């Protein structure tokens, strides 16, 4: 009888697909084609009506349109900034950048006191599991949140790491096969520690015999505990009520039927996580979700909420008291916040623990949120065929006009072919978006924390961009797991 050693299970590297940057024709998007079409029409009309003199007189019009369509600014073409700026101006004019809770006016039962698009969310408590289910009537989703505990991944041996990575891959594959899951969000966040964990450990394992060593250790815990931080991991499971409409009707219809169907998916998720050797601490109750929301918008209150378990457990009042949004940051009750988008994942092969610099960053209150959007197998096959056809046709058009073939386009075609092969082999396809929310008490500390997170992302072979014009909705999607991720950020 022989035993397997760690060398029998080598840790396999992984590689992410590149961010798709396709256009309608020759890599140009619809806004670019519209503006270039206006420029061409202006040139043709001026030549027919005024000849060379007319072309010269209209040169400011068509040259400006051409430049707006092709000149980049801040990672986008200038024309692509127009919708963002227009929405920002409209929100500014309508006074939507400032939120103040009306503490005197009572709220309807089952609603959440949250700003912006999240104001439409509704609360539903599952009578069987006691879990909080958040209903989004606009997106037609209902979400439950699961607490997860796990050992330090970076401290495991390579064989154990590879086994756990394979188990997590099976969890994600199961969600793709379901067809009823709208989104899975994995959030890993740091929270200010009240010191209760260290104090509890000392009461359980310590020897408080009055000696000098015991007294000194107890004083150290008392002083250093509240200055520390702790990590918490949660998984949010969102049911697509449109895709599960038939099952919901069969289960009784309405929110009660949706809760029954979501409960089935919750059981499947818990079983899959157990097979992947991830320990679930239970589906979060309304009080636990309220603490998460309150801690996200008011980090200074988190230690007090942890010490006094009965306080801050009302989900209807867990939202912020005041929120002020600016172009590139957000201020809520006791902190300033900024949200970064992971716009480029590692282009070369990396090992599964590549996010360790981000996850293990110390002294920074931040939340790393990964949004997984499952794609049905038939829809994924159609999308991949369309992408492959567009990439091949774009390459053919570039060859006809004598344009040099771009290496990035060839790499993107290779990614599509690899995804098609994986789909044929039975694997699922998920669209992944990564958001990093950073919080600090002052603006200067926030800028320093953002710079540290950006440097940690570089060490993790990732590229981040600070979102502008959408900080409020981005913060809700990154820091509050139950809120809908309606950020207008592309997904990989």
pLDDT in tens, 105-138: 777 767 777 887 777 888 888 888 888 899 888 8
Mean pLDDT of 448-465: 92
- Cβ(192)–Cβ(276) under 8 Å? no
Phi and psi of 164, rounded to 5°?
A: -70, -35
Quickly state the pLDDT bin for 23 (edges 50, 70, 90): low
Mean pLDDT of 256-264: 91
- Cβ(330)–Cβ(471) under 8 Å? yes
Within 10 A of 35 (CB to CB), how many other CB atoms are there? 22
Quickly state the pLDDT bin for 205 (edges 50, 70, 90): low
- pLDDT of 224 reads 55
pLDDT-wise least confident of 3-12, 60-69, 347-356, 403-412: 3-12
295 half-sphere exposure, CB direction, 13 A CA radius: 27
- pLDDT of 349 reads 82
Quickly state the pLDDT bin for 481 (edges 50, 70, 90): low
Quickly state the pLDDT bin for 478 (edges 50, 70, 90): confident
Quickly state the pLDDT bin for 6 (edges 50, 70, 90): very low
- pLDDT of 2 reads 37
Burial class from Cβ neighbours inside 10 Å (0-12, 13-18, 19+) for residue 478 reads: buried
Rounded to the nearest 10 degrees, the angle between the axes of helix 158-178 and helix 254-275 is 160
Phi and psi of 83, rounded to 5°?
A: -60, -40
What DSSP string describes 136-180?
ETTTTEEEEEEEEE---GGGS-HHHHHHHHHHHHHHHHHHHHHS-
- pLDDT of 469 reads 87
- Residue that wins the pLDDT comparison between 128 and 214: 128
Burial class from Cβ neighbours inside 10 Å (0-12, 13-18, 19+) for residue 325 reads: buried
User: Percentage of the chain surpassing pLDDT 90?
Assistant: 14
pLDDT-wise least confident of 246-260, 349-363, 432-446, 472-486: 472-486
- pLDDT of 305 reads 77
Mean pLDDT of 267-294: 87
Q: Is the pLDDT of residue 17 over 80?
A: no
- pLDDT of 340 reads 93
CA separation for the pair 88, 84 (Å, rounded): 6
pLDDT in tens, 407-447: 777 777 777 887 788 777 777 778 888 999 999 999 999 99
- Residue that wins the pLDDT comparison between 261 and 304: 261
pLDDT in tens, 142-162: 999 999 887 777 777 888 888
Residue 289, CA distances (Å) to 101, 234, 295, 445 in order: 19, 11, 10, 27
pLDDT in tens, 26-49: 567 777 777 788 778 887 887 778
Q: Is the pTM of this model over 0.85?
A: no
SS3 236: strand
- Residue that wins the pLDDT comparison between 310 and 141: 141
User: Percentage of the chain surpassing pLDDT 70?
Assistant: 85
Handedness of CA 356, 358, 364, 370 (dihedral sign): negative
Mean pLDDT of 284-306: 85
- Residue that wins the pLDDT comparison between 457 and 428: 457
Average confidence score pLDDT of the chain: 80
Rounded to 5°, angle at Cα 321 from 315 and 326 = 120
pLDDT in tens, 319-356: 888 999 999 999 998 899 999 999 888 888 888 888 88
Q: Give 80's DSSP letter.
A: G
Q: Is the pLDDT of residue 251 over 50?
A: yes
Please give the structure tokens belonging to residue 167: 């188990």
What DSSP string describes 339-388?
EEEEEE--SS-B-TTTTHHHHT--S-EEEEEEEEEEE-HHHHHHHHHHHH
CA separation for the pair 180, 178 (Å, rounded): 5
């Amino acid at each position: 009888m022989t035993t397997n050693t760690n060398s029998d299970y080598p840790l396999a590297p992984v590689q992410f697909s590149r961010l798709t940057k396709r256009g309608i024709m020759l890599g140009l998007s619809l806004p670019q084609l519209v503006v270039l079409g206006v420029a061409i029409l202006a040139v043709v009309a001026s030549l027919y009506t005024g000849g060379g003199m007319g072309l010269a007189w209209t040169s400011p019009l068509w040259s400006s349109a051409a430049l707006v369509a092709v000149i980049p600014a801040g990672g986008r073409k200038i024309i692509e900034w127009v919708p963002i700026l227009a929405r920002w101006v409209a929100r500014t004019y309508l006074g939507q950048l400032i939120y103040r809770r009306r503490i005197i006016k009572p709220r309807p039962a089952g609603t959440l006191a949250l700003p912006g698009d999240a104001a439409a969310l509704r609360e539903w408590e599952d009578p069987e599991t006691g879990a909080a289910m958040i209903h989004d009537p606009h997106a037609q989703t209902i979400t439950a949140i699961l607490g997860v505990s796990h050992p330090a991944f970076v401290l495991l041996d390579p064989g154990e790491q590879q086994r756990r990575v394979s188990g997590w891959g099976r969890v994600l594959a199961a969600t793709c096969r379901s067809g009823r899951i709208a989104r899975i969000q994995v959030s890993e966040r740091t929270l200010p520690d009240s010191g209760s964990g260290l104090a509890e450990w000392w009461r359980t394992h310590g020897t408080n015999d009055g000696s000098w060593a015991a007294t000194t250790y107890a004083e150290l815990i008392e002083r250093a505990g509240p200055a520390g931080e702790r990590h918490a991991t949660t998984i949010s499971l969102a049911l697509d009520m449109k895709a599960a409409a038939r099952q919901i009707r069969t289960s009784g219809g309405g929110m009660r039927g949706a809760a029954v169907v979501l409960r089935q998916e919750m059981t499947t998720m818990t079983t899959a996580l157990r097979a992947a050797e991830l320990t679930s601490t239970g589906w979060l109750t309304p009080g636990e979700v309220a603490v998460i929301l309150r801690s996200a918008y008011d980090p200074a209150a988190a230690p007090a909420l942890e010490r006094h378990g009965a306080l801050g457990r009302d989900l209807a009042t867990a939202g912020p008291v005041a929120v002020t949004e600016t172009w590139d940051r957000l201020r809520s009750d006791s902190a300033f916040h900024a949200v970064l988008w992971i716009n480029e994942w590692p282009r070369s092969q990396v090992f599964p623990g590549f996010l360790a610099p981000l996850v293990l960053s110390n002294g920074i209150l931040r939340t790393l949120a990964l949004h997984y959007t499952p794609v049905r197998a038939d829809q994924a096959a159609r999308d991949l065929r369309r992408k492959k056809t567009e990439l091949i046709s774009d390459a053919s058009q570039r060859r006809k006009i004598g344009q040099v073939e771009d290496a990035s386009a060839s790499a993107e075609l290779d990614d599509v072919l690899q995804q098609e092969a994986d789909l044929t082999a039975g694997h699922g396809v998920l669209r992944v978006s990564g958001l990093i929310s950073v919080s600090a008490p002052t603006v200067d500390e926030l800028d320093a924390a953002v710079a540290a997170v950006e440097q940690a992302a570089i060490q993790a072979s990732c590229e981040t961009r600070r979102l502008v014009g959408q900080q409020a909705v981005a913060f809700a999607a990154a820091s509050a797991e139950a809120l809908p991720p309606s950020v207008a950020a592309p997904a990989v």
